[in-house]
Amino acid sequence: MKRQAKWLLLAGAVGIGGLAHAQLGAIAGGATASGPSNAPVAFTADKISYEKSGNLVIATGHVRAIQNGQTLYADKVVLDRNTDVATATGHVILRQPSGDTVFADKAVLSRGMKNAVMQGVSARLALNARMIANGARRYNGAIDELSKIVYSACNLCKSNPQAPPLWQIRARSATRDLQHKMIEYRDAEMEFDGFPIFYTPYLTQPDPSVKRQTGLLIPGAGASSRLGFFISVPYYIVLGPSSDITLTPIIAAKAGPA
């Protein structure tokens, strides 16, 4: 009865002029594994309608849903009341409590948005890191599987933001573990200024939100008379609570004299 009352409130909001306001129980939810999917949802849209034949709730125009500290924006959200699956399209944005902001062309959400399938994904992460992918799939608010991914923590050139960053990782697929704070790449290439410099079938790095974790650090570059142009790729290894080591392989254009 409690859920039915919420839907009656939604139906009543359809007739209200201007911005419609309602409380929903299933259209959006917490993206964290600990957030309850049935927490109250603050929901607004320019227009809300109900399609009885398909048992669909359709929200259009400046759609916004807030729950568990996360906010979903979209041009349109269609909720299938039979399956509790919501489909968001048009300028989809997910702002998360961690500070991450995810943009997508389309998102299909279920289980209170702990599960999601997204297309045309880009994201702004901690430490100004950026990530784009053809598609992404989220499981239980804890694991993100991404396809054809590009990741970089370098700032874009202000005079030419379309130019490639100083360095970036391009991979066939990647897994971002939001609980253990790791990113794993498969079939990965490290690119410098848009040019691939090495390939590895498997690569891991700390998630940009973590302060101390074994993994790849930000690469560097330089030039010298002995090495010519060179690129350094530091790898940080945590040995214990108070000890660590950084290994820095160098890829050089030439070798110096013996």
**Model confidence pLDDT, tens digit, residues 166-196:** 889 999 999 999 888 889 999 999 898 888 8
Domains of the chain: total: 1
Q: Is residue 250 part of a domain?
A: no
Return d(Cα 132, Cα 217) in angstroms, integer.
19
Query: Which CATH number fits the domain that encloses residue 13?
Result: 2.60.450.10
More confident residue, 236 or 52: 52
Domain residues for the domain of 77 are 1-95
Token pair 């290894």 is found at: 237
At 91-129, the pLDDT tens digits run 999 998 888 999 999 999 988 778 899 999 999 998 788
Joined together, the tokens standing for residue 208 give 């940009």
Q: Is residue 102 part of a domain?
A: no
Return d(Cα 149, Cα 249) in angstroms, integer.
24
Count, residues in the chain:
258
Q: At 147, which amino acid appears? A: S
Q: Is residue 167 part of a domain?
A: no
Q: Is residue 242 part of a domain?
A: no
Q: Is residue 246 part of a domain?
A: no
Q: Is residue 3 part of a domain?
A: yes
Reduce the secondary structure of the chain to three states and give it as a string.
Answer: CHHHHHHHHHHHHCCCCCCEEEEECCCCCCCCCCCCCCCCEEEEECEEEEECCCCEEEEEEEEEEEECCEEEEEEEEEEECCCCEEEEEEEEEEECCCCCEEEEEEEEEECCCCEEEEEEEEEECHHHCEEEEEEEEEECCCEEEEEEEEEECCCCCCCCCCCCCCEEEEEEEEEEECCCCEEEEEEEEEEECCEEEEEEEEEEEECCCCCCCCEECCCEEEEECCCEEEEECCEEEEEECCEEEEECCEEECCCCCC
- The strand pairing partners of 107, in sequence order, are 88, 118
More confident residue, 13 or 160: 160
Lowest mean pLDDT among 123-127, 205-209, 235-239, 246-250: 235-239
Q: Is residue 220 part of a domain?
A: no
Q: Is residue 228 part of a domain?
A: no
What average pLDDT is seen over the chain?
79
Return d(Cα 129, Cα 176) in angstroms, integer.
14
pTM for this entry: 0.73
Q: Please report the pLDDT score of residue 23 as a whole number.
A: 40
**Percent of the chain beyond pLDDT 70?**
80
